[in-house]
């Protein structure tokens, strides 16, 4: 099955919600309505054998309306063909359903799209920031975010001392506190038990008598 045939099948199944398809440099890009994207992806995976989601990226088209778009790159191992699906979402409602139920690999890609653009994915198992730290206040890849960045407060320690219980060390052999026991006392050597050495240790500055 070629990408053209897959597009035709998609259009036959979903009708109006599948928009124009553009062909450039041998690749086909199909616009899909945002509400139907999960169904379209599931259809393409089951009926047209697009079993791999190679990439999922967000794009910010500043100045256009709808401002954001999400691109899905599908790949079929059996037919060896690629297809790109494109959805457009507006700035007011930056939410779209997650496709991580169709391909598990969409998980991290969608987290990255959320991290970089602020696009929310409904139903995502773990929609947290992935590249920036949790609690970073901006969305860096938006066009209105400056290249040099905006100074933001770095987070505190990842683990709060009063929220966790330290693993018990049971006073074991590798727990040391400074200054309590001298290393000579803690790890006695055989040489320390020999009488001459004890004398030498007691008086370290005395000159050796020949």
Partner 1 sequence: MATQYESELIDSAARAQQAAEEPLDGERMILNMGPQHPSTHGVLRVVIELDGEEIINLWPDVGYLHRGDEKIAENMTYTQFIPYTDRLDYLAPLANNVAYACAVEKLCGIDVPPRCQYIRVICAELARISSHLLGVGALALDIGAVTVFLYTFREREKINDMCECICGARFTTSYTRIGGLANDLPPNFLPMLRKFLKEFPATLEEVDRLLTRNKIFVERNRDVGILRKEDAIDFCVTGPVLRGSGVEWDLRKAHPYSSYELFDFDVPVGTVGDCFDRYLVRMEEMRQSERILHQAMDNLPSGPINSPDAKILLPEKKAVLTKMEELIHQFINVTEGINAPPGEVYFSAENPKGELGFYIISKGGGVPHRLKIRAPSFVNLQALPVMAKGHIVSDLVAILGSIDFVMGECDR
Interface residues toward partner 1, by CB under 8 A: 24-25, 27, 29, 51-55, 57, 59-61, 71, 73, 75, 77, 80, 82, 84, 103-105, 107-108, 112, 116, 129-133, 140-141, 143, 145, 147, 149, 158-159, 164, 167
Instruction: Check: CB of residue 192 under 8 Å from CB of residue 198.
Output: yes
Closer residue to partner 1, CB minimum distance, 33 or 140: 140
Q: Which residues pair with 82 in a beta bridge?
A: 75
Residue 180 is given by DSSP the state T
User: How does strand 81-89 pair with strand 27-32?
Assistant: parallel
Closer residue to partner 1, CB minimum distance, 33 or 141: 141
Closer residue to partner 1, CB minimum distance, 167 or 170: 167
Q: Is the dihedral of CA 118, 120, 124, 125 positive or negative?
A: positive
Closer residue to partner 1, CB minimum distance, 170 or 195: 170
Question: Cβ neighbours of residue 8 under 8 Å, at least 6 residues apart?
Answer: none
Closer residue to partner 1, CB minimum distance, 36 or 109: 109
**Longest CA–CA separation in the chain, Å:** 106
Instruction: Check: CB of residue 38 under 8 Å from CB of residue 102.
Output: yes
Least distance (Å) from partner 1 to the CB of residue 73?
6
Least distance (Å) from partner 1 to the CB of residue 51?
5
Least distance (Å) from partner 1 to the CB of residue 101?
11
Least distance (Å) from partner 1 to the CB of residue 123?
17
What's the CA gap between 50 and 6, in Å, rounded? 9
Closer residue to partner 1, CB minimum distance, 37 or 53: 53
Which of 38, 1, 31 minimizes the C-alpha distance to 16?
Answer: 31
Least distance (Å) from partner 1 to the CB of residue 55?
4
Least distance (Å) from partner 1 to the CB of residue 198?
39
Torsion of CA 46, 79, 38, 96, to 10 degrees: 160
């Amino acid at each position: 099955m070629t990408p053209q045939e897959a597009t035709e099948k998609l259009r036959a199944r979903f009708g109006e919600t599948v928009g124009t398809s553009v062909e450039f440099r041998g690749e086909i890009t199909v616009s899909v309505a945002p509400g139907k994207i999960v169904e379209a992806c599931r259809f393409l995976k089951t009926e047209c054998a697009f079993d791999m989601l190679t990439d999922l990226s967000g794009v910010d088209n500043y100045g256009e309306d709808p401002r954001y778009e999400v691109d899905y790159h599908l790949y079929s191992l059996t037919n060896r063909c690629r297809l790109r699906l494109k959805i457009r979402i507006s700035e007011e409602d930056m939410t779209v359903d997650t496709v991580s139920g169709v391909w598990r690999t969409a998980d991290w890609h969608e987290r990255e799209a959320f991290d970089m653009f602020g696009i929310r994915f409904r139903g995502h198992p773990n929609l947290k920031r992935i590249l920036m730290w949790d609690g970073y206040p901006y969305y860096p890849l938006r066009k209105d975010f400056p290249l040099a960045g905006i100074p933001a407060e770095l987070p505190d320690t990842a683990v709060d001392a009063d929220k966790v219980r330290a693993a018990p060390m049971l006073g074991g052999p590798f727990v040391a506190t400074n200054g309590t026991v001298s290393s000579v006392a803690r790890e006695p050597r055989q040489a320390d038990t020999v009488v001459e050495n004890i004398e030498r240790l007691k008086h370290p500055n005395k000159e050796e008598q020949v």
